[in-house]
DNA sequence: TGACATACATACAAGCATGTAGGTAAAGTA
DNA sequence: TACTTTACCTACATGCTTGTATGTATGTCA
């Protein structure tokens, strides 16, 4: 078989990532073999080992690709309402929950992260990277809460870190339940009600 | 080597389950081999295959054992406050969160369920059983919320199913975050504050 | 246009993990 | 006490997955 041009090679890489994302979310990370991924992308394992060092490396790359759309929409929100941190948090949360429903990429990604992988400490494992990303995300949320308190959108009896962890937890928890069993409730209709309920709880804080 | 008495055999079985629980929560389900489990229990794979059909069967058994203490304490709470469904829910939620911190069994179990296994549809997989158990648990919570509304502890503008899914999500979300990184926040100190915040949100419901 | 680098495919070796068949010695039982 | 069953252990066959080494035909650049 013939060598591909650089563009074609990038396409192959992209196809591999797509296949991995889909297969991981369908069969789980551990039960998906590199051969499965290669076949699904229409190539052989040779291509996988050309583009990535190994499975772990591929997962890392997958992460980078999957997080981009979310970060982009967050950035957008920041510019849409620069002086309304609480509204921004609300919008961010609802955005994530809606993306999980409507955006295949986000849904697959969340499904992998919450349901289809095992977090285990090992040298070169991806748990570390995930922890770091989560920490960053949490700092961001905490920052928004801090601003909200400074602007008087929330009482200063609210601890920003506390509020941030809670919001993060609710989002993950809702995604976990919905992805586990989408027929349980309509994420689409109730997402914002959940977020508003939590914010109402924070507002009445003691 | 010599044959064991029936009691000793039961002990072996129990040791195997203990070892499995510990190893699963340390290394993840997929990366833990039956040999690992047997060795950790001081026996060989022969013993595993004697007591269980295969890995899946072992996981099922593990589940049954791990859920018991939680169900027991729930039952206890039901009798402690038969006429305070909301208080019961609060106590249940806080109980779970505290058990995760203080009870090794519960913590290991939650860790496996939330972080160390992959949920994948397959013939004979344990996802089905898990879904069923969750559904039962959710019905129970929903029932309590219904009662709370009937007794006027909550407005009837609150949808019990909505409230139940939310509570369940928060609990799982908090456990997920805390198990992923226990240094992030003190579950012990803040668990009840989180639950109260959510309940406050429900109370101010629109 | 030739030489080198690229983007894979193919082939091979090696290590596990699983399932199972057969062995064994003591416990249980009549 | 003799026979059967139990509770394992040992050994083996099998399949799968990974990693790597090598082949190869083509893009790419001087």
Å between A6 CA and nearest CA of chain B: 36
What's the pTM? 0.94
| A55 burial level (CB within 10 Å; 0-12, 13-18, 19+) | middle
Pick from B118, B168, B202: CB nearest A177: B168
A170-180 average pLDDT score = 98
CA B51 and chain centroid, separation = 24
| Nearest nucleotide (C1') to alpha carbon of A35 | D17
B10-22 average pLDDT score = 97
The predicted-structure confidence for B25-52, as pLDDT tens digits, reads as follows 999 999 999 999 999 999 999 999 999 9
What is the pLDDT confidence band of residue A179, given thresholds at 50, 70 and 90?
A: very high
- Using CA atoms, how far residue B154 sits from A186, B84, B162, in Å, is 22, 12, 13
Domains and CATH numbers, chain A: 1-53 (1.10.10.60), 55-204 (1.10.357.10)
Are A30 and A59 within 8 A, CB to CB? Answer: no
The predicted-structure confidence for A62-114, as pLDDT tens digits, reads as follows 988 888 888 888 888 888 998 999 999 999 999 999 999 999 999 999 999 99
> Which one-letter DSSP state was computed for residue A185?
S
Q: Write out chain B residues lying below 8 Å of A123, CB-based.
A: none
pLDDT of residue B123: 62
Question: Is strand C within 7 Å of residue A1 (CB)?
Answer: yes
Cα of first residue to Cα of last residue in chain A, in angstroms, is: 69
């Amino acid at each position: 078989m013939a060598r591909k041009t650089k563009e074609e090679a990038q396409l192959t890489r992209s196809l591999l990532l797509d296949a991995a994302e889909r297969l991981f979310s369908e069969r789980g990370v551990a039960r998906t073999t590199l051969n499965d991924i290669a076949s699904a992308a229409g190539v052989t394992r040779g291509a996988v080992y050309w583009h990535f060092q190994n499975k772990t490396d591929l997962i890392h790359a997958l992460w980078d690709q999957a997080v981009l759309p979310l970060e982009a929409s967050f950035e957008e929100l920041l510019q849409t309402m620069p002086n309304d941190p609480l509204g921004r948090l609300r919008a961010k949360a609802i955005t994530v929950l809606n993306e999980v429903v409507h955006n295949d990429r986000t849904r697959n990604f969340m499904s992998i992260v919450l349901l289809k992988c095992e977090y285990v400490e090992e040298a070169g494992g991806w748990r570390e990277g995930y922890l770091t990303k989560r920490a960053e995300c949490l700092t961001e949320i905490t920052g928004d809460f801090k601003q909200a308190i400074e602007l008087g959108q929330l009482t200063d009896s609210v601890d920003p870190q506390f509020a941030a962890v809670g919001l993060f937890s609710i989002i993950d928890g809702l995604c976990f339940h919905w992805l586990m069993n989408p027929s349980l409730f309509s994420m689409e209709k109730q997402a914002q009600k959940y977020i508003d309920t939590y914010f109402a709880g924070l507002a009445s804080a003691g």
